[in-house]
Amino acid sequence: MSDCFRILFVDDDADDQYLVQRALEKITYRIELVCLSSANELFTFLEKPTEPVKQLILLDLNLPMISGYEALKKVKQSKQFCSTPCIIYSTSQSSRDIADSYQVGANSFIIKPDTFTETVNILQDLCDYWFGIVTLKGSN
């Protein structure tokens, strides 16, 4: 696979960042993982000019200061990033969190898995779908 893809992973838990980083090393896609610890770091990153690349945002709901839910809302209201896939990746199983996330534009809601193997499988499936099946804006 020659294309490189980018995942912006917004989660303030260093253990979760490490787990996702290690899991991505096991899948069949070349992924540039950008780990961010807060919504403010996400907004700062998105303001920087970067080379066009197929990317998605993997977003935890429980973030310091600005919640993942509020970050999602802001991204989806942005002209520049409203079509960037935003996947909620959370420990929450609350039907309200799930419904609210979809209401403001989440493209998917994934409950964080319990094992490393499940993490690898979920990330492989996620990349297969978003980078292998779907045609993302700016891909043609």
Helix (H, G, I), strand (E, B) or coil at 53: coil
Answer yes or no: are the C-beta atoms of 55 and 9 closer than 8 Å.
no
pLDDT over 70, % of the chain: 96
Q: Are strands 86-90 and 108-111 parallel, antiparallel or unpaired?
A: parallel
Q: So what's the pLDDT on residue 115?
A: 95
**Tokens 């066009």, located at residue:** 52
Q: Average per-residue pLDDT in the chain?
A: 92
What's the pLDDT at 1? 41
How confident is the model over 76-120, as pLDDT tens digits?
998 888 899 999 999 999 999 999 999 999 999 999 999 999 999
Identify the band that residue 140 occupies on the pLDDT scale cut at 50, 70 and 90: very low
Classified by CATH at the fold level, domain 4-133 comes out as Rossmann fold (3.40.50)
Q: What is the DSSP string of 24-48?
A: HTTSSSEEEEEEESSHHHHHHHHHS
The whole-model pTM stands at: 0.92
pLDDT classification of 135: cutoffs 50, 70, 90: confident
Q: Where are the domains of the chain?
A: 4-133
What average pLDDT score do residues 41-55 get? 86
